[in-house]
């Protein structure tokens, strides 16, 4: 059983000033509207309706938080002592690129997303959800460029891989890795950007994605760390 299956709704925020004051590591899911982000979150967390998967994209313009650990916290989240039991947070960011969102709403999410990914210290890594048939649109590249200077990892899920044959899937993965590998820091070192194929429909790539997320959140080291160092896990 994956730790991600414990995920429970935690809170929704519309403004950066309302971000939770939790100190546990969080991992954020970002992606173009309709890329399959909500469906991927649901499959990873083994829950049908945790994140809202929609046929009318572009409607969620806020940030949804899900907690791992302290399973009853969702019902008691005003009680600070319960919040202590949370081990990590999953963050569902607003989908970008939906054509019919108005100019001012678009600007609002863009500022919200950019500020969040660049400034949120608790953010351990980004899961970038990209449709394997439409890899790396302009806004995906924008996201990479916002995030790269933080030096934190990005793991890219190339979703809906069930729609591609074996050859096209392999090409999509190779192209994605080439693009991700083309980002280098001022010393010419590549950023910690990785990619894999993923299908929510076929549940393929699920173990690889789960292991990566648990790893990026530091949850697989927690038992060992706790016995040696009581401050391990603090951000
Ligand atoms: N074939 C296929 N369709 C998918 C997959 N993941 C999502 N979809 C479909 O793509 C559409 C958008 O998915 P959704 O998760 O709402 O995208 P979001 O806007 O990124 O959250 C929905 O109709 C989903 O059923 C997948 O792995 N394979
Ligand atoms: Mg969605």
pLDDT tens digits for range 3-51: 999 999 999 998 889 999 999 999 999 999 899 999 999 999 999 888 8
Calculate Rg over the CA atoms of the chain: 17
Is residue 96 over pLDDT 90? no
> CATH says 3-226 is which class?
alpha beta
Q: What is the mean pLDDT of residues 86-105?
A: 82
Confidence of residue 59 (pLDDT cuts 50, 70, 90): low
φ/ψ of 25, rounded to 5, equals -65, 145
Hey, whose CA ends up nearest to atom 13 of ligand 1? 36
Which pLDDT belongs to residue 52?
A: 75
Cβ of 68 closer than 6 Å to ligand 1, yes or no, is: no
Cβ of 54 closer than 6 Å to ligand 1, yes or no, is: yes
What is the distance in A from the centroid of ligand 1 to the CA of 53?
Answer: 7
3-class secondary structure, 47: coil
Q: Which two tokens stand for residue 17?
A: 């000033």
Cβ of 97 closer than 6 Å to ligand 1, yes or no, is: no
Distance CA 77, CA 45 (A): 20
What is the distance in A from the centroid of ligand 1 to the CA of 206?
Answer: 15
Is residue 97 over pLDDT 90? no
Which pLDDT belongs to residue 73?
A: 46
Cβ of 169 closer than 6 Å to ligand 1, yes or no, is: no
Testing ligand 1's pocket by substitution, the residue of 53, 59, 90, 197 carrying the most ligand atoms inside 8 A of its CB is 53
Which pLDDT belongs to residue 81?
A: 44
What is the distance in A from the centroid of ligand 1 to the CA of 62?
Answer: 19
Residues 154, 175 contacting (CB under 8 angstroms): no
Hey, whose CA ends up nearest to atom 14 of ligand 1? 36
Which pLDDT belongs to residue 235?
A: 46
CA dist 137 → 19, 34, 132, 179, 228 (Å)? 28, 13, 11, 12, 45
Hey, whose CA ends up nearest to atom 22 of ligand 1? 55
Q: Which ligand neighbours the alpha carbon of 199 most closely?
A: 1
Hey, whose CA ends up nearest to atom 3 of ligand 1? 160
Cβ of 22 closer than 6 Å to ligand 1, yes or no, is: no
């Amino acid at each position: 059983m994956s730790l991600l299956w414990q995920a429970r709704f935690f809170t929704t925020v519309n403004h950066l000033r309302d971000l939770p004051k939790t100190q546990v590591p969080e991992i954020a899911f970002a992606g173009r509207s309709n890329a399959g982000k909500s469906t991927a979150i649901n499959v990873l967390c083994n829950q049908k309706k945790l994140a809202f998967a929609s046929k009318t994209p572009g409607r969620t313009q806020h940030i949804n938080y899900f907690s791992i650990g302290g399973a009853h916290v969702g019902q008691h989240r005003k009680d600070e002592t319960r919040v202590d039991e949370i081990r990590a947070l999953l963050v569902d960011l607003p989908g970008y690129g939906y054509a019919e969102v108005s100019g001012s709403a678009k600007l609002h999410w863009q500022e919200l997303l950019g500020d969040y990914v660049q400034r949120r210290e608790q953010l351990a890594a980004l899961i970038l959800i990209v449709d394997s048939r439409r890899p790396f649109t302009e806004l995906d590249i924008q996201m990479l460029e916002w995030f790269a200077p933080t030096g934190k990892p990005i793991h890219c899920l190339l979703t809906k891989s069930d729609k591609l044959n074996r050859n096209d899937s392999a090409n999509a993965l190779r192209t994605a890795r080439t693009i991700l590998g083309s980002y280098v820091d001022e010393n010419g070192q590549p950023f910690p950007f990785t990619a894999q194929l993923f299908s929510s429909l076929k549940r393929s790539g699920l173990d690889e994605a789960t292991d990566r997320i648990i790893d990026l959140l530091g949850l697989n080291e927690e038992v060992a760390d706790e016995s040696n160092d009581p401050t391990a896990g603090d951000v």
